[in-house]
C-alpha cells in the first residue's frame, strides 16, 4: 500500500504535470496574439469578473491592445484602444464584420436578425434596406423631423405628467421605468404608428424583459461558449431559457404589428418605418430581387424596435443620474436653455447648434458612462493579420469600447465627469472630439440608428431640463456602480421633480 505521507506529493506532482499538459495543449499557434493562461474546460471565463470591460483594460496593460483569451474551448481576440479597433473595424472592416455562430444569436428576430446575423450578401442587402427606411424617418429635415419632434414632445409631456403624479407632495420615485416606456413609445410610433399608455401592464412587461436580453448577449453568453451548461439545471441555463422566451415574445409582438400593416398597406402613403420596409421587400422596392423574403420584414422591424428603445432609455437614466450628481451643471444647462430658447416655447432640434453646453453634457454622459462597454461580439470572416498577429477565420472578437472612452492618452482625467472637455476656446462644440466617443461601434456593424438615438436623447434632455428641476434623494448615496449586460444600467435610484416657473402656453405637463 502507498505510504500516506507520499500521497500529497503525488497529488501535487499530478497537478503540476496536468498544468504542463494543458499549457502545451491549449498554447495558441505561433504568431497568435498573447494572452493569459487558459484553464482546461472553462478557459478564462472565471477571470472576467462582473465587469469584463475593466478586466480587458487591465489585461491590455499587460498583453497589449490586441490579446487573446479562451472562453471554454473558443479562442477570443479582444481589441482595445482606438487605433487597434479602427484598424480592424474600418480599414479591415470586411474581415472583422462577421458574427459568431452562437446559439443565442440564432434566436434573435426569428433568425432573420440584422444586428446578430452572419455577414453575407443577403445581410448587406438587408442592412442597406433597413438603413434607407430608418433614414427616411430620422433625417434632420422636412416632414420626418417634424414627425419625430411631435412624437418626442408628446412623450415628454406624458413623462412629466407621470413624474408629477409619482412625485406628488415631494415624494421620491424611481424614474427609469418611465423613461423605458416613453422612449419605447417614440420608437413604437415611428415603427408602427402606435403608442401605449404608461399604465399598460402588458407593454411594460415586454419592455422590462430587456435586461435579460442584455445579460445573455453581453460579452458572449456562457451557454454559447460552455454549451455543456445546457445539460443540467443551473442559473446560466435558466437565463438562456428566459432569453428564448423573451425573443419569441418580442418577435410575436412585432409580427402582429406587421400583419396589421400588410392588411392596410397603401403604396401611395408611407405611414411609418413598417410601411417603408414592406414597400422595399414586398412591393417592388428591390428587396425581393436581392433575395430578401417576406419574413425579413419581421426580422428587420424586431431589430429596429428592440435595439432602438433600450439603448436610448438607458442613456436617459445616465443623463438624469449625472444631473443629480452635479446639480451646478443642471443650473448651467437650464440657464443656457433659458437664454437660447426662452420660456415661451419648448426646445426643438433647430436649437441644437445654439446649445453647445447641452450637447457637450450629452457627449460627456456617453463617454463617461460608456454604457455599451463591449459591442455585440464580432467574428472574423477570413484568416487575417492585425498588428502583426495572425487571427484565423471564425475567431470570436470582442471590441472594448470602454477602453476608447477612458484612454488616458486621449482624454485628460477620463475618470472625471467634465462636459467642458468638449468645448473649444470659443465655447463651441469640438466636433472632432465628439467623433472620438465610441458608443455605437464603427465600420460595417456601426449602429444604423445612431443619429436617431442621439437626436432623441437631445430632445428628451432639453425638454425635461427646460420644464423641470430634478433633486436627488438625500437618503441615498449616488453611485456610478451599475448592472452589467450588453448595456450598463445604473443601480436603481430615486428622484423628486418640480416644475420650473413656466408660462402656461408651453407647459409640457398640460394636455395639448
Residue ranges of the annotated binding site are 447
- Which residue in 178, 215, 274, 123 sits closest to 468, CA to CA? 178
Residues belonging to the binding site for heme are 447
**Residues in Cβ contact with 394 at an 8 Å cutoff, skipping those fewer than 6 apart:** 98, 100, 101, 379, 380
Asked whether the beta carbons of 229 and 110 are under 8 A apart, the reply is no
Q: Residue 495: beta bridge partners?
A: 173, 472
- List, as one string, the DSSP characters of 223-281: HHH-GGGGGS--HHHHHHHHHHHHHHHHHHHHHHHHHHHHHT-BTTB--SHHHHHHHHH
Asked whether the beta carbons of 460 and 152 are under 8 A apart, the reply is yes
According to DSSP, the β-strands at 396-400 and 74-80 are parallel
CB neighbourhood size of 381 (10 A): 18
> What are the CB-based long-range contacts (under 8 Å, 24+) for 137-144?
137/190, 137/272, 137/273, 137/276, 137/452, 138/190, 138/449, 138/451, 138/452, 138/455, 140/349, 140/451, 140/455
- Measured distance CA(411)–CA(33) in Å, rounded: 27
- HSE value, Cβ hemisphere, 13 Å, CA-based, for 292: 32
- Which residue in 313, 283, 281, 284 sits closest to 300, CA to CA? 281
Amino acid at each position: 500500500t502507498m505510504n500516506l505521507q507520499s500521497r500529497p506529493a503525488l497529488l501535487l506532482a499530478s497537478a503540476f504535470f496536468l498544468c504542463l499538459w494543458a499549457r502545451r495543449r491549449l498554447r495558441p499557434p505561433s504568431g497568435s496574439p498573447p494572452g493569459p493562461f487558459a484553464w482546461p474546460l472553462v478557459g478564462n471565463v472565471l477571470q472576467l469578473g462582473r465587469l469584463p470591460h475593466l478586466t480587458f483594460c487591465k489585461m491590455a496593460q499587460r498583453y497589449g491592445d490586441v490579446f487573446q483569451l479562451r472562453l471554454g474551448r473558443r479562442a477570443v481576440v479582444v481589441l482595445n484602444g482606438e487605433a487597434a479597433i479602427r484598424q480592424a473595424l474600418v480599414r479591415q472592416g470586411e474581415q472583422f464584420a462577421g458574427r459568431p455562430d452562437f446559439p443565442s444569436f440564432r434566436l434573435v428576430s426569428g433568425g432573420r436578425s440584422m444586428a446578430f446575423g452572419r455577414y453575407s450578401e443577403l445581410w448587406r442587402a438587408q442592412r442597406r434596406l433597413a438603413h434607407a427606411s430608418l433614414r427616411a424617418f430620422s433625417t434632420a429635415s422636412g416632414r420626418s423631423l417634424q414627425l419625430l419632434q411631435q412624437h418626442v414632445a408628446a412623450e415628454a409631456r406624458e413623462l412629466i405628467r407621470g413624474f408629477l403624479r409619482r412625485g406628488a407632495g415631494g415624494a421620491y420615485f424611481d424614474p427609469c421605468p418611465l423613461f423605458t416606456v416613453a422612449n419605447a413609445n417614440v420608437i413604437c410610433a415611428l415603427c408602427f404608428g402606435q403608442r401605449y399608455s404608461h399604465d399598460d401592464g402588458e407593454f411594460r412587461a415586454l419592455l422590462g424583459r430587456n435586461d435579460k436580453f442584455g445579460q445573455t448577449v453581453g460579452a458572449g453568453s456562457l451557454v454559447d461558449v460552455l454549451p455543456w451548461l445546457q445539460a443540467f439545471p443551473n442559473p446560466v441555463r435558466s437565463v438562456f431559457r428566459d432569453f428564448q422566451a423573451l425573443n419569441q415574445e418580442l418577435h410575436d409582438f412585432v409580427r402582429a404589428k406587421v400583419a396589421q400593416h400588410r392588411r392596410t398597406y397603401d403604396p401611395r402613403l408611407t405611414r411609418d418605418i413598417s410601411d417603408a420596409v414592406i414597400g422595399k421587400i414586398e412591393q417592388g422596392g428591390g428587396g425581393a430581387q436581392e433575395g430578401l423574403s417576406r419574413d425579413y420584414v419581421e426580422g428587420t422591424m424586431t431589430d429596429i424596435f428592440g435595439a432602438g428603445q433600450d439603448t436610448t432609455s438607458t442613456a436617459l437614466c445616465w443623463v438624469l443620474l449625472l444631473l443629480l450628481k452635479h446639480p451646478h451643471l443642471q443650473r448651467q444647462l437650464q440657464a443656457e436653455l433659458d437664454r437660447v430658447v426662452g420660456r415661451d416655447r419648448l426646445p426643438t432640434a433647430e436649437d441644437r447648434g445654439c446649445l453647445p453646453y447641452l450637447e457637450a453634457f450629452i457627449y460627456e454622459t456617453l463617454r463617461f458612462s460608456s454604457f455599451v462597454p463591449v459591442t455585440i461580439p464580432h467574428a472574423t470572416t477570413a484568416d487575417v493579420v492585425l498588428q502583426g498577429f495572425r487571427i484565423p477565420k471564425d475567431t470570436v472578437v470582442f471590441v472594448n469600447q470602454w477602453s476608447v472612452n477612458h484612454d488616458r492618452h486621449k482624454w485628460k482625467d477620463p475618470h472625471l465627469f467634465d462636459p467642458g472637455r468638449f468645448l473649444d476656446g470659443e465655447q463651441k462644440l469640438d466636433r472632432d472630439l465628439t467623433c472620438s466617443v465610441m458608443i455605437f461601434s464603427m465600420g460595417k456593424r456601426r449602429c444604423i440608428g445612431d443619429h436617431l438615438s442621439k437626436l432623441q436623447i437631445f430632445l428628451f434632455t432639453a425638454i425635461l431640463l427646460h420644464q423641470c428641476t430634478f433633486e436627488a434623494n438625500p437618503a441615498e448615496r449616488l453611485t456610478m456602480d451599475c448592472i452589467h449586460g450588453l448595456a450598463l444600467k445604473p443601480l436603481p435610484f430615486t428622484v423628486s421633480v418640480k416644475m420650473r416657473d413656466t408660462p402656461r402656453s408651453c407647459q409640457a405637463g398640460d394636455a395639448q
